[in-house]
Structure 1
Amino acid sequence: MSLETHSILLNNEREMPMLGLGVYKATGNNEVENAICWAVEAGYRLIDTASVYKNEEGVGRGIKAASVKREELFVTTKVWNNAQRMNDVEGAFNRSLERLGLEYVDLYLIHWPVAGCYIGTWKALEKIYSSGRAKSIGVSNFSVQDLEKLNEQCGIVPAVNQIEFHPLFNHPELLSYCRAHRIAVQAYAPLARGAYLNEETIAQIAARRGKTPAQIGLRWSVQQGISVIPKSSKKERICSNAQIFDFSLTPEEMEALTALDRQQRTASIPEDLLGQYEILSK
Protein backbone atom coordinates (compact mmCIF):
# COMPACT_ATOMS: atom_id res chain seq x y z
CA MET A 1 0.00 0.00 0.00
CA SER A 2 1.23 3.50 -0.77
CA LEU A 3 -0.20 6.96 -0.22
CA GLU A 4 2.42 8.57 -2.45
CA THR A 5 -0.16 9.73 -4.99
CA HIS A 6 -1.39 12.15 -2.31
CA SER A 7 1.33 14.77 -2.57
CA ILE A 8 2.12 18.46 -2.95
CA LEU A 9 4.23 19.83 -5.78
CA LEU A 10 6.84 22.05 -4.18
CA ASN A 11 8.12 25.25 -5.77
CA ASN A 12 11.28 23.45 -6.97
CA GLU A 13 9.08 20.88 -8.77
CA ARG A 14 9.67 18.06 -6.29
CA GLU A 15 6.82 16.09 -4.73
CA MET A 16 6.20 16.04 -0.96
CA PRO A 17 3.70 13.59 0.55
CA MET A 18 0.56 15.04 2.13
CA LEU A 19 0.89 12.66 5.09
CA GLY A 20 4.00 11.98 7.11
CA LEU A 21 5.09 10.47 10.39
CA GLY A 22 6.34 12.85 13.07
CA VAL A 23 8.81 11.31 15.52
CA TYR A 24 9.11 14.07 18.14
CA LYS A 25 10.08 12.59 21.53
CA ALA A 26 10.23 9.06 20.08
CA THR A 27 13.37 7.97 21.91
CA GLY A 28 12.37 4.74 23.68
CA ASN A 29 13.87 1.33 22.99
CA ASN A 30 13.27 0.68 19.26
CA GLU A 31 10.34 3.12 19.47
CA VAL A 32 11.17 5.16 16.39
CA GLU A 33 12.38 2.14 14.39
CA ASN A 34 9.11 0.29 14.98
CA ALA A 35 7.02 3.37 14.26
CA ILE A 36 8.75 3.90 10.91
CA CYS A 37 8.31 0.28 9.85
CA TRP A 38 4.60 0.34 10.79
CA ALA A 39 4.12 3.66 9.04
CA VAL A 40 5.76 2.48 5.82
CA GLU A 41 3.58 -0.65 5.87
CA ALA A 42 0.53 1.62 6.26
CA GLY A 43 1.56 3.65 3.21
CA TYR A 44 3.46 6.58 4.72
CA ARG A 45 6.41 7.81 2.72
CA LEU A 46 7.45 10.91 4.72
CA ILE A 47 9.46 10.79 7.95
CA ASP A 48 10.00 14.03 9.88
CA THR A 49 12.73 14.36 12.50
CA ALA A 50 15.14 17.05 13.78
CA SER A 51 18.55 17.19 15.39
CA VAL A 52 17.03 18.37 18.66
CA TYR A 53 14.78 15.27 18.82
CA LYS A 54 17.89 13.18 19.57
CA ASN A 55 16.63 10.25 17.51
CA GLU A 56 18.19 10.67 14.07
CA GLU A 57 20.21 7.48 14.57
CA GLY A 58 17.00 5.57 15.26
CA VAL A 59 15.36 7.15 12.23
CA GLY A 60 18.28 5.97 10.13
CA ARG A 61 17.90 2.43 11.44
CA GLY A 62 14.17 2.56 10.79
CA ILE A 63 14.75 3.69 7.21
CA LYS A 64 17.17 0.81 6.64
CA ALA A 65 14.69 -1.67 8.15
CA ALA A 66 11.73 -0.35 6.16
CA SER A 67 10.17 -2.46 3.43
CA VAL A 68 10.82 0.12 0.66
CA LYS A 69 13.94 1.60 -0.90
CA ARG A 70 15.37 4.78 0.56
CA GLU A 71 14.57 6.58 -2.74
CA GLU A 72 10.86 6.03 -2.09
CA LEU A 73 10.99 7.90 1.21
CA PHE A 74 10.89 11.64 1.88
CA VAL A 75 13.12 12.36 4.88
CA THR A 76 13.10 15.71 6.69
CA THR A 77 15.39 16.98 9.42
CA LYS A 78 16.12 20.43 10.88
CA VAL A 79 18.92 22.64 12.15
CA TRP A 80 18.61 23.68 15.79
CA ASN A 81 19.04 27.12 17.36
CA ASN A 82 22.49 26.65 18.91
CA ALA A 83 24.01 25.70 15.55
CA GLN A 84 22.58 28.91 14.09
CA ARG A 85 24.10 31.03 16.84
CA MET A 86 27.47 29.29 16.49
CA ASN A 87 27.42 29.71 12.70
CA ASP A 88 27.83 25.94 12.45
CA VAL A 89 24.98 25.12 10.07
CA GLU A 90 27.16 23.14 7.65
CA GLY A 91 28.63 21.15 10.52
CA ALA A 92 25.19 20.51 12.02
CA PHE A 93 23.89 19.31 8.67
CA ASN A 94 26.82 16.96 8.18
CA ARG A 95 26.31 15.51 11.65
CA SER A 96 22.61 14.96 10.92
CA LEU A 97 23.48 13.12 7.70
CA GLU A 98 25.98 10.97 9.58
CA ARG A 99 23.49 10.10 12.31
CA LEU A 100 20.82 9.30 9.74
CA GLY A 101 23.26 7.24 7.69
CA LEU A 102 22.11 9.00 4.53
CA GLU A 103 23.84 10.69 1.61
CA TYR A 104 21.07 13.29 1.33
CA VAL A 105 17.82 14.43 2.91
CA ASP A 106 14.72 15.38 0.99
CA LEU A 107 14.03 18.48 3.08
CA TYR A 108 16.21 20.48 5.46
CA LEU A 109 14.51 23.10 7.61
CA ILE A 110 15.48 26.01 9.85
CA HIS A 111 13.72 24.83 12.99
CA TRP A 112 13.09 28.31 14.47
CA PRO A 113 13.78 31.86 13.25
CA VAL A 114 16.57 32.87 15.62
CA ALA A 115 16.82 36.67 15.57
CA GLY A 116 20.01 37.94 14.02
CA CYS A 117 20.88 34.49 12.73
CA TYR A 118 18.26 33.09 10.40
CA ILE A 119 19.28 35.11 7.31
CA GLY A 120 22.80 33.73 7.56
CA THR A 121 21.42 30.29 8.32
CA TRP A 122 19.25 30.42 5.21
CA LYS A 123 22.22 31.37 3.04
CA ALA A 124 24.04 28.32 4.43
CA LEU A 125 21.00 26.17 3.53
CA GLU A 126 21.11 27.59 0.02
CA LYS A 127 24.68 26.29 -0.34
CA ILE A 128 23.64 22.87 1.01
CA TYR A 129 20.77 22.82 -1.49
CA SER A 130 23.11 23.72 -4.34
CA SER A 131 25.35 20.79 -3.36
CA GLY A 132 22.45 18.36 -3.83
CA ARG A 133 22.67 17.00 -0.29
CA ALA A 134 19.26 18.52 0.53
CA LYS A 135 16.77 18.09 -2.31
CA SER A 136 14.62 20.92 -0.91
CA ILE A 137 15.08 23.52 1.83
CA GLY A 138 12.55 25.30 3.96
CA VAL A 139 11.70 26.84 7.30
CA SER A 140 9.63 26.13 10.38
CA ASN A 141 7.74 28.48 12.70
CA PHE A 142 8.28 31.47 10.38
CA SER A 143 5.86 34.38 10.36
CA VAL A 144 4.93 36.52 7.35
CA GLN A 145 7.49 39.07 8.53
CA ASP A 146 10.23 36.43 8.78
CA LEU A 147 9.43 35.16 5.28
CA GLU A 148 9.45 38.68 3.87
CA LYS A 149 12.94 39.28 5.29
CA LEU A 150 14.16 36.11 3.59
CA ASN A 151 12.56 37.22 0.35
CA GLU A 152 14.29 40.59 0.56
CA GLN A 153 17.77 39.30 1.36
CA CYS A 154 18.06 35.78 -0.07
CA GLY A 155 17.89 34.14 -3.47
CA ILE A 156 15.78 31.03 -2.93
CA VAL A 157 12.17 30.99 -1.75
CA PRO A 158 11.59 28.33 0.96
CA ALA A 159 9.87 25.23 -0.38
CA VAL A 160 8.04 24.63 2.92
CA ASN A 161 6.99 26.47 6.07
CA GLN A 162 6.26 23.95 8.81
CA ILE A 163 4.03 25.42 11.53
CA GLU A 164 1.65 24.34 14.25
CA PHE A 165 -1.71 24.23 12.48
CA HIS A 166 -5.00 22.61 13.47
CA PRO A 167 -8.68 23.60 13.96
CA LEU A 168 -7.88 25.33 17.25
CA PHE A 169 -4.94 27.32 15.84
CA ASN A 170 -5.41 28.82 12.37
CA HIS A 171 -3.20 31.21 10.42
CA PRO A 172 -5.27 32.63 7.53
CA GLU A 173 -2.90 35.54 6.77
CA LEU A 174 0.19 33.34 6.89
CA LEU A 175 -1.50 30.62 4.84
CA SER A 176 -2.52 33.19 2.23
CA TYR A 177 1.02 34.58 2.05
CA CYS A 178 2.55 31.12 1.63
CA ARG A 179 0.11 30.23 -1.12
CA ALA A 180 0.84 33.47 -2.96
CA HIS A 181 4.58 32.69 -2.89
CA ARG A 182 4.25 28.95 -3.60
CA ILE A 183 5.53 28.00 -0.14
CA ALA A 184 3.91 24.72 0.93
CA VAL A 185 2.49 24.73 4.45
CA GLN A 186 3.05 21.66 6.57
CA ALA A 187 1.25 21.17 9.89
CA TYR A 188 3.06 19.85 12.92
CA ALA A 189 0.99 18.96 15.99
CA PRO A 190 -2.00 18.61 13.61
CA LEU A 191 -3.89 16.78 16.36
CA ALA A 192 -3.23 19.62 18.82
CA ARG A 193 -1.70 17.10 21.23
CA GLY A 194 -5.23 15.70 21.59
CA ALA A 195 -6.75 19.04 22.63
CA TYR A 196 -9.64 18.95 20.14
CA LEU A 197 -10.47 15.25 20.18
CA ASN A 198 -13.38 15.83 22.58
CA GLU A 199 -14.69 18.98 20.88
CA GLU A 200 -18.44 18.56 20.33
CA THR A 201 -18.37 19.90 16.77
CA ILE A 202 -15.63 17.48 15.75
CA ALA A 203 -17.23 14.58 17.60
CA GLN A 204 -20.54 15.17 15.80
CA ILE A 205 -18.90 15.27 12.37
CA ALA A 206 -16.86 12.16 13.21
CA ALA A 207 -19.96 10.25 14.30
CA ARG A 208 -21.83 11.28 11.17
CA ARG A 209 -18.94 10.23 8.94
CA GLY A 210 -18.01 7.03 10.75
CA LYS A 211 -14.55 8.45 11.36
CA THR A 212 -12.48 9.29 14.43
CA PRO A 213 -12.10 12.90 15.63
CA ALA A 214 -8.41 12.65 14.76
CA GLN A 215 -9.23 11.67 11.19
CA ILE A 216 -11.64 14.60 10.90
CA GLY A 217 -9.03 17.07 12.13
CA LEU A 218 -6.37 15.71 9.79
CA ARG A 219 -8.77 15.73 6.86
CA TRP A 220 -9.59 19.39 7.55
CA SER A 221 -5.91 20.23 7.03
CA VAL A 222 -5.17 18.10 3.96
CA GLN A 223 -8.37 19.29 2.28
CA GLN A 224 -6.83 22.77 2.39
CA GLY A 225 -3.70 21.47 0.69
CA ILE A 226 -1.73 21.35 3.93
CA SER A 227 0.60 18.41 4.55
CA VAL A 228 0.30 16.84 8.02
CA ILE A 229 2.85 14.98 10.15
CA PRO A 230 0.97 13.49 13.14
CA LYS A 231 3.23 11.92 15.72
CA SER A 232 2.51 8.46 17.07
CA SER A 233 4.49 5.42 18.09
CA LYS A 234 1.43 3.16 18.36
CA LYS A 235 0.70 0.93 15.37
CA GLU A 236 -3.09 1.26 15.62
CA ARG A 237 -2.98 5.06 15.65
CA ILE A 238 -0.39 5.23 12.88
CA CYS A 239 -2.67 3.14 10.67
CA SER A 240 -5.80 5.05 11.69
CA ASN A 241 -4.19 8.43 10.92
CA ALA A 242 -3.61 7.28 7.35
CA GLN A 243 -7.33 6.75 6.68
CA ILE A 244 -8.03 10.33 5.61
CA PHE A 245 -8.07 10.14 1.83
CA ASP A 246 -11.27 8.14 1.29
CA PHE A 247 -13.73 10.93 2.17
CA SER A 248 -14.20 14.69 1.88
CA LEU A 249 -15.69 17.21 4.28
CA THR A 250 -18.48 19.45 3.02
CA PRO A 251 -17.95 23.22 2.80
CA GLU A 252 -20.23 23.58 5.83
CA GLU A 253 -18.19 21.08 7.83
CA MET A 254 -14.96 22.80 6.83
CA GLU A 255 -16.36 26.15 7.97
CA ALA A 256 -17.55 24.69 11.27
CA LEU A 257 -14.08 23.31 11.97
CA THR A 258 -12.37 26.56 11.01
CA ALA A 259 -14.70 28.42 13.37
CA LEU A 260 -13.19 26.47 16.29
CA ASP A 261 -10.06 28.61 16.07
CA ARG A 262 -9.09 30.16 19.38
CA GLN A 263 -5.36 30.62 18.73
CA GLN A 264 -4.60 27.74 21.09
CA ARG A 265 -0.96 26.80 20.79
CA THR A 266 -0.25 23.30 22.08
CA ALA A 267 3.45 23.11 21.22
CA SER A 268 5.91 25.06 23.33
CA ILE A 269 8.28 27.82 22.21
CA PRO A 270 11.92 27.02 23.09
CA GLU A 271 13.06 28.76 26.26
CA ASP A 272 15.95 30.43 24.46
CA LEU A 273 13.49 32.19 22.13
CA LEU A 274 10.82 33.32 24.57
CA GLY A 275 12.25 36.81 24.80
CA GLN A 276 12.39 37.48 21.06
CA TYR A 277 9.97 35.18 19.30
CA GLU A 278 6.88 36.76 17.78
CA ILE A 279 3.74 34.63 17.70
CA LEU A 280 2.88 33.66 14.15
CA SER A 281 0.43 35.96 12.39
CA LYS A 282 -3.18 34.89 12.32
Structure 2
Amino acid sequence: MPPARKRPRAYDPARTRAAVLAQFGNVRAAARTLTPEQLALPTRLGDRTVRELVAHAGRVLTAVDRLLDEPEPARQDGRLLDWPFAIGADADADADAVARTARRPAGEHPGLDAHLAEAERRFTERLDTHPGSRLLPTGAGALPLADYVVTRTVELVVHTDDLTAAVPGLDIPYDRQALAAATRLLADALAVKAPGGSTEVRIPPYAVVQCGEGPRHTRGTPPSVVETDPLTWVRLAAGRLSWTDAVTEAKVSASGERADLGALLPLLS
Protein backbone atom coordinates (compact mmCIF):
# COMPACT_ATOMS: atom_id res chain seq x y z
CA MET A 1 0.00 0.00 0.00
CA PRO A 2 1.21 3.55 -0.71
CA PRO A 3 2.19 5.85 2.14
CA ALA A 4 -0.05 8.69 3.31
CA ARG A 5 -0.49 11.62 0.97
CA LYS A 6 1.89 14.55 1.58
CA ARG A 7 0.15 17.03 -0.70
CA PRO A 8 -3.50 18.10 -0.75
CA ARG A 9 -5.52 15.91 -3.06
CA ALA A 10 -6.50 17.53 -6.36
CA TYR A 11 -10.03 17.30 -7.73
CA ASP A 12 -10.90 17.90 -11.36
CA PRO A 13 -13.62 20.61 -11.39
CA ALA A 14 -15.40 19.23 -14.45
CA ARG A 15 -15.59 15.73 -12.97
CA THR A 16 -16.70 17.06 -9.61
CA ARG A 17 -19.45 19.12 -11.19
CA ALA A 18 -20.63 16.11 -13.20
CA ALA A 19 -20.60 13.97 -10.06
CA VAL A 20 -22.68 16.46 -8.08
CA LEU A 21 -25.25 16.76 -10.85
CA ALA A 22 -25.38 12.99 -11.34
CA GLN A 23 -26.01 12.27 -7.66
CA PHE A 24 -28.51 15.10 -7.42
CA GLY A 25 -30.26 13.65 -10.45
CA ASN A 26 -30.45 10.28 -8.70
CA VAL A 27 -32.10 11.90 -5.68
CA ARG A 28 -34.49 13.89 -7.84
CA ALA A 29 -35.53 10.82 -9.83
CA ALA A 30 -36.18 8.90 -6.61
CA ALA A 31 -38.19 11.77 -5.15
CA ARG A 32 -40.59 11.65 -8.10
CA THR A 33 -41.53 8.07 -7.13
CA LEU A 34 -42.42 8.87 -3.52
CA THR A 35 -46.03 8.85 -2.42
CA PRO A 36 -47.48 11.46 -0.02
CA GLU A 37 -47.37 8.82 2.70
CA GLN A 38 -43.68 8.15 2.06
CA LEU A 39 -42.88 11.86 1.98
CA ALA A 40 -44.43 12.18 5.43
CA LEU A 41 -42.25 9.44 6.94
CA PRO A 42 -39.76 10.39 9.68
CA THR A 43 -36.02 10.22 9.08
CA ARG A 44 -33.09 9.60 11.40
CA LEU A 45 -32.45 13.36 11.42
CA GLY A 46 -34.56 14.44 14.35
CA ASP A 47 -37.83 16.05 13.35
CA ARG A 48 -37.02 16.18 9.64
CA THR A 49 -39.43 14.26 7.40
CA VAL A 50 -38.61 12.65 4.08
CA ARG A 51 -40.16 15.65 2.29
CA GLU A 52 -37.97 18.02 4.25
CA LEU A 53 -34.91 15.91 3.58
CA VAL A 54 -35.60 15.92 -0.17
CA ALA A 55 -36.06 19.68 -0.03
CA HIS A 56 -32.75 19.93 1.80
CA ALA A 57 -31.07 18.11 -1.09
CA GLY A 58 -32.06 21.09 -3.21
CA ARG A 59 -30.48 23.44 -0.70
CA VAL A 60 -27.24 21.47 -0.98
CA LEU A 61 -26.98 23.05 -4.43
CA THR A 62 -28.53 26.44 -3.66
CA ALA A 63 -25.92 26.90 -0.92
CA VAL A 64 -23.56 27.74 -3.80
CA ASP A 65 -26.05 30.35 -5.01
CA ARG A 66 -26.38 31.84 -1.52
CA LEU A 67 -22.63 32.07 -0.95
CA LEU A 68 -22.00 33.64 -4.35
CA ASP A 69 -24.46 36.37 -3.42
CA GLU A 70 -22.24 37.29 -0.47
CA PRO A 71 -19.31 39.70 -0.91
CA GLU A 72 -16.20 37.88 -2.07
CA PRO A 73 -13.59 37.53 0.69
CA ALA A 74 -10.33 39.39 0.14
CA ARG A 75 -8.20 36.28 0.48
CA GLN A 76 -8.44 32.54 1.01
CA ASP A 77 -8.11 31.69 4.68
CA GLY A 78 -9.63 28.21 4.73
CA ARG A 79 -8.78 24.80 3.34
CA LEU A 80 -11.02 22.19 1.79
CA LEU A 81 -10.05 19.79 4.58
CA ASP A 82 -11.28 22.28 7.19
CA TRP A 83 -14.84 21.96 5.90
CA PRO A 84 -15.85 18.65 7.57
CA PHE A 85 -15.07 20.15 10.97
CA ALA A 86 -17.06 23.32 10.31
CA ILE A 87 -20.18 21.84 8.74
CA GLY A 88 -22.23 22.96 11.72
CA ALA A 89 -21.80 26.60 10.72
CA ASP A 90 -23.12 25.85 7.24
CA ALA A 91 -26.01 23.90 8.79
CA ASP A 92 -26.96 26.98 10.82
CA ALA A 93 -27.09 29.03 7.62
CA ASP A 94 -29.29 26.36 6.03
CA ALA A 95 -31.61 26.46 9.03
CA ASP A 96 -31.97 30.21 8.54
CA ALA A 97 -32.89 29.61 4.89
CA VAL A 98 -35.49 27.03 5.91
CA ALA A 99 -36.99 29.47 8.39
CA ARG A 100 -37.25 32.19 5.74
CA THR A 101 -38.96 29.75 3.39
CA ALA A 102 -41.43 28.73 6.08
CA ARG A 103 -42.44 32.38 6.55
CA ARG A 104 -43.49 32.76 2.91
CA PRO A 105 -47.20 32.75 2.08
CA ALA A 106 -48.46 29.29 1.15
CA GLY A 107 -48.98 30.29 -2.47
CA GLU A 108 -45.28 31.07 -2.86
CA HIS A 109 -44.07 27.56 -1.99
CA PRO A 110 -43.02 25.68 -5.15
CA GLY A 111 -43.74 22.00 -5.60
CA LEU A 112 -40.99 19.65 -4.51
CA ASP A 113 -39.81 18.73 -8.01
CA ALA A 114 -40.02 22.36 -9.11
CA HIS A 115 -37.83 23.28 -6.14
CA LEU A 116 -35.25 20.67 -7.15
CA ALA A 117 -35.36 21.69 -10.80
CA GLU A 118 -34.76 25.34 -9.89
CA ALA A 119 -31.90 24.37 -7.59
CA GLU A 120 -30.25 22.42 -10.40
CA ARG A 121 -30.77 25.25 -12.88
CA ARG A 122 -29.28 27.85 -10.56
CA PHE A 123 -26.32 25.63 -9.66
CA THR A 124 -25.51 25.01 -13.32
CA GLU A 125 -25.92 28.66 -14.22
CA ARG A 126 -23.69 29.85 -11.41
CA LEU A 127 -20.91 27.39 -12.25
CA ASP A 128 -21.13 28.46 -15.89
CA THR A 129 -20.69 32.13 -15.01
CA HIS A 130 -18.13 32.04 -12.16
CA PRO A 131 -14.55 30.78 -12.20
CA GLY A 132 -13.55 27.99 -9.87
CA SER A 133 -11.12 30.38 -8.17
CA ARG A 134 -13.94 32.66 -6.99
CA LEU A 135 -13.80 32.74 -3.17
CA LEU A 136 -16.85 31.89 -1.04
CA PRO A 137 -17.35 32.82 2.65
CA THR A 138 -18.03 29.35 4.09
CA GLY A 139 -18.14 28.13 7.67
CA ALA A 140 -14.62 26.80 7.11
CA GLY A 141 -13.34 30.18 5.99
CA ALA A 142 -12.92 31.55 2.49
CA LEU A 143 -12.74 28.66 0.00
CA PRO A 144 -12.53 28.62 -3.80
CA LEU A 145 -15.78 27.73 -5.53
CA ALA A 146 -14.16 24.62 -7.06
CA ASP A 147 -13.27 23.33 -3.60
CA TYR A 148 -16.70 24.06 -2.19
CA VAL A 149 -18.33 22.06 -4.97
CA VAL A 150 -16.37 19.01 -3.76
CA THR A 151 -18.14 19.33 -0.40
CA ARG A 152 -21.47 19.00 -2.19
CA THR A 153 -20.63 15.38 -2.99
CA VAL A 154 -20.37 14.63 0.73
CA GLU A 155 -23.72 16.23 1.51
CA LEU A 156 -25.49 14.47 -1.34
CA VAL A 157 -24.01 11.03 -0.63
CA VAL A 158 -24.82 11.29 3.09
CA HIS A 159 -28.40 12.42 2.47
CA THR A 160 -28.91 9.80 -0.22
CA ASP A 161 -28.14 7.25 2.47
CA ASP A 162 -30.48 9.04 4.89
CA LEU A 163 -33.34 8.83 2.38
CA THR A 164 -32.68 5.18 1.63
CA ALA A 165 -32.75 4.41 5.35
CA ALA A 166 -36.02 6.30 5.83
CA VAL A 167 -38.10 4.78 3.03
CA PRO A 168 -38.47 0.97 2.96
CA GLY A 169 -37.68 -0.41 -0.47
CA LEU A 170 -36.13 2.81 -1.78
CA ASP A 171 -32.83 2.13 -3.53
CA ILE A 172 -31.17 5.32 -4.76
CA PRO A 173 -28.01 4.62 -6.78
CA TYR A 174 -24.69 6.25 -5.95
CA ASP A 175 -22.76 7.94 -8.70
CA ARG A 176 -19.29 6.42 -8.68
CA GLN A 177 -17.45 9.75 -8.90
CA ALA A 178 -19.62 11.35 -6.21
CA LEU A 179 -18.99 8.45 -3.82
CA ALA A 180 -15.28 8.54 -4.65
CA ALA A 181 -14.95 12.27 -3.95
CA ALA A 182 -16.91 12.03 -0.70
CA THR A 183 -14.83 9.05 0.46
CA ARG A 184 -11.52 10.74 -0.35
CA LEU A 185 -12.40 14.06 1.27
CA LEU A 186 -13.49 12.37 4.50
CA ALA A 187 -10.48 10.05 4.52
CA ASP A 188 -8.10 12.98 4.11
CA ALA A 189 -9.97 14.83 6.87
CA LEU A 190 -9.25 11.92 9.21
CA ALA A 191 -5.53 12.25 8.45
CA VAL A 192 -5.76 15.96 9.31
CA LYS A 193 -7.62 15.30 12.55
CA ALA A 194 -5.16 12.63 13.68
CA PRO A 195 -1.81 13.27 11.97
CA GLY A 196 0.77 10.53 12.02
CA GLY A 197 1.54 7.22 10.42
CA SER A 198 0.85 4.44 12.91
CA THR A 199 -2.42 3.30 11.33
CA GLU A 200 -3.28 2.78 7.69
CA VAL A 201 -6.92 3.26 6.73
CA ARG A 202 -7.88 1.53 3.51
CA ILE A 203 -11.15 2.29 1.74
CA PRO A 204 -10.86 0.46 -1.57
CA PRO A 205 -11.03 1.35 -4.34
CA TYR A 206 -10.94 5.07 -3.54
CA ALA A 207 -8.62 5.99 -0.69
CA VAL A 208 -5.70 5.00 1.53
CA VAL A 209 -4.48 7.30 4.29
CA GLN A 210 -2.24 7.05 7.32
CA CYS A 211 -3.13 8.60 10.64
CA GLY A 212 -2.41 8.45 14.36
CA GLU A 213 0.66 9.09 16.46
CA GLY A 214 3.36 6.49 16.26
CA PRO A 215 5.93 5.16 13.81
CA ARG A 216 5.22 5.73 10.13
CA HIS A 217 5.76 2.71 7.92
CA THR A 218 7.09 3.02 4.38
CA ARG A 219 6.88 -0.52 3.05
CA GLY A 220 5.22 -3.82 3.77
CA THR A 221 2.24 -4.31 6.05
CA PRO A 222 1.81 -1.52 8.62
CA PRO A 223 1.45 -2.42 12.33
CA SER A 224 -2.20 -1.28 12.44
CA VAL A 225 -4.67 -1.53 9.58
CA VAL A 226 -8.32 -0.51 9.20
CA GLU A 227 -10.26 -1.46 6.10
CA THR A 228 -13.86 -0.85 5.10
CA ASP A 229 -16.02 -0.08 2.08
CA PRO A 230 -16.79 3.47 0.89
CA LEU A 231 -20.40 3.68 2.05
CA THR A 232 -19.59 2.32 5.50
CA TRP A 233 -16.78 4.87 5.75
CA VAL A 234 -19.13 7.71 4.84
CA ARG A 235 -21.61 6.50 7.46
CA LEU A 236 -18.89 6.36 10.11
CA ALA A 237 -17.53 9.79 9.23
CA ALA A 238 -21.01 11.34 9.19
CA GLY A 239 -22.11 9.77 12.47
CA ARG A 240 -24.74 7.53 10.89
CA LEU A 241 -22.96 4.40 12.15
CA SER A 242 -20.96 3.94 15.33
CA TRP A 243 -17.50 2.43 15.31
CA THR A 244 -18.57 -0.27 17.76
CA ASP A 245 -21.53 -1.33 15.62
CA ALA A 246 -19.44 -1.32 12.46
CA VAL A 247 -16.85 -3.64 14.01
CA THR A 248 -19.49 -5.88 15.62
CA GLU A 249 -21.34 -6.22 12.31
CA ALA A 250 -18.06 -6.98 10.49
CA LYS A 251 -18.43 -3.91 8.31
CA VAL A 252 -14.94 -2.85 9.36
CA SER A 253 -11.77 -4.90 9.62
CA ALA A 254 -9.40 -3.54 12.27
CA SER A 255 -6.09 -5.10 13.32
CA GLY A 256 -3.27 -3.78 15.47
CA GLU A 257 -3.09 -1.96 18.79
CA ARG A 258 -3.79 1.44 17.21
CA ALA A 259 -6.62 0.34 14.91
CA ASP A 260 -9.50 1.61 17.06
CA LEU A 261 -10.79 4.81 15.42
CA GLY A 262 -13.81 5.16 17.69
CA ALA A 263 -12.46 8.20 19.51
CA LEU A 264 -11.86 10.03 16.21
CA LEU A 265 -15.32 9.55 14.73
CA PRO A 266 -17.55 11.05 13.53
CA LEU A 267 -15.69 13.68 11.53
CA LEU A 268 -18.57 15.91 10.45
CA SER A 269 -19.39 18.42 13.15
The alignment's TM-score, normalised by the length of structure 1, stands at 0.27
**Larger helix percent:** 2
Q: Which structure would you say has the larger RCO, counting Cα contacts within 8 Å and 6 or more residues apart?
A: 2
The alignment's TM-score, normalised by the length of structure 2, stands at 0.28
| Larger radius of gyration between Structure 1 and Structure 2 | 2
